[in-house]
Amino acid sequence: MNIVNLLKKTPLKRFFDKAPQVAVLPLYGVIAPGGNKLRGEHLNLANLADQIEAAFDTKRLSAVVLAINSPGGSPVQSSLIFDRIRQLADEKGVPVYAFAEDVMASGGYWLGLCADEIYINKNSVVGSIGVVSAGFGFPALLEKVGVDRRLYSAGENKIKLDPFSPEKEDDILWLKKIQGDIHNNFKELVKTRRGERLKKRKDKELFSGDVWIGEKAAELGLVDGIADLRSFCREKFGEKVRFNLVEGRQGFLAKKLGLAQQQAIGADAVDALITAVRNQSLWGRFGL
């Protein structure tokens, strides 16, 4: 049972209950631009902005808790979500805690760095501090089926990494430079947010893109320990603490027709299939 389902089973308390409140913000899934409130496909700032604001607007708020289960995705969206959460946390002086479920890796770990403290399950997969790009090349296929590729541009760098043209060494070097710059930004964020807690820091090991489980992640200083959300909050804020689960507003049609789970029709079906394959490949890197 995941954190969200567990909290849904917590009995509703009276409106005027004076117990301390903890806002729980679920961050589940692949981080990517696009999607919308009807389909709710991805984690990105556009889809999460209202939920983040609502979490920090909770009355009698003692803390915001991030329930994370993400294999990563877009570094830009990871950074935008991070910035918004940190801005509100600093403005309102509210502590933020992160709790990982199955995976908190790559961009998922970037989200975890929003928190003042990070806790995981002993079997959670953590890390993957690196940058990856993937795609396909089709020049041999075009030649086989007798298709002549015609591509014109103004600007010599406008057609880098064209999947229908032979790969060029200069294009690969250009991509690696971009990846290196993003990787450096990620590394600096880890060092800044984790600070002295990276007691046994070995940059080559930590930032190789590798992942670790439970106690090893804690030993490396990537997380603060092994704990579950409910027990941690009850110990920190008292047994009367109340959990306010902040979920996105799914549209009326999505609720009635289950569109969030259904495949789209027509041209959208192709996009939905590509998205599903891409998302599954991200989860698949961690055996899920």
Q: Tell me whether residue 54 is in a domain.
A: yes
Number of domains in the chain: 2
Q: Could you give the CA distance from residue 103 to residue 105 in angstroms, rounded to a whole number?
A: 6
For residues 123 and 42, state if they share a domain.
yes
pLDDT tens, position by position, for the chain (288 residues)? 566 665 554 555 445 567 889 999 999 989 988 764 444 468 999 999 999 999 999 888 999 999 999 988 889 999 999 999 999 999 999 999 999 999 999 899 999 999 999 999 999 999 877 766 665 666 666 566 666 666 666 666 666 666 666 667 776 776 677 777 888 888 899 899 988 888 665 667 788 878 888 889 899 999 999 999 999 999 999 988 999 999 865 443 333 344 444 444 444 544 554 555 556 555 555 554
Strands 125-127 and 211-213: antiparallel
- Of 249, 278, 224, the closest CA to residue 72 belongs to 278
Q: Are 225 and 278 part of one and the same domain? A: yes
**CB of 22 closer than 8 Å to CB of 63:** yes
Q: H/E element holding 184?
A: helix 169-194
Residue 237 lies in a domain: yes
In a domain, 201, yes or no: no
User: How far apart are alpha carbons 130 and 286 in whole angstroms?
Assistant: 14
Residues 47 and 120 in one domain: yes
Please indicate, yes or no, if residue 265 is contained in any of the structural domains. Answer: yes
In terms of domains, do 77 and 172 share one? no
Q: Which of 124, 129, 20, 3 is nearest to 66 (CA)?
A: 3
Contacts of 279 (CB under 8 A, 6+ apart): 29, 30
Q: Are residues 110 and 172 in the same domain?
A: no
Judgement on whether residues 46 and 80 belong to the same structural domain of the protein? yes
Q: Are residues 169 and 250 in the same domain?
A: no
Q: Looking at the structure, tell me whether residues 9 and 101 fall in a common domain.
A: yes
Whether residue 219 is found in the same domain as residue 278: yes
Q: Is residue 170 part of a domain?
A: yes
* Residue 61, domain member (yes or no): yes
Terminal-residue alpha carbon distance, the chain: 16
Task: Establish if 199 belongs to a structural domain.
Answer: no
Q: pTM score, two decimals? A: 0.74
Give me the domain span that covers residue 124.
3-128+210-284
Q: Which CATH number covers residue 261?
A: 3.90.226.10
CA separation, residue 283 to residues 76, 86, 223, 288 (Å)? 19, 27, 21, 5
Q: Are strands 96-105 and 61-70 parallel, antiparallel or unpaired?
A: parallel
Query: Of 193, 223, 240, which residue constitutes the final position of a domain?
Result: 193
In terms of domains, do 152 and 237 share one?
Answer: no
DSSP classification of residue 73:
B
Tokens of 215: 């106690």
In a shared domain, residues 41 and 89:
yes
Q: Is there a domain that residue 205 lies in? A: no
Which tokens in the block code for residue 152? Answer: 């014109």
Render 16-83 in DSSP notation, one character per residue. Answer: T--S-EEEEEEEES-B-S---TTT--SB-HHHHHHHHHHHHT-TTEEEEEEEEEE--B-HHHHHHHHH
pLDDT for the residue 127? 84
Q: Which of 6, 27, 228 is nearest to 124 (CA)?
A: 228
Please indicate, yes or no, whether residues 227 and 241 belong to a single structural domain of this protein.
Answer: yes
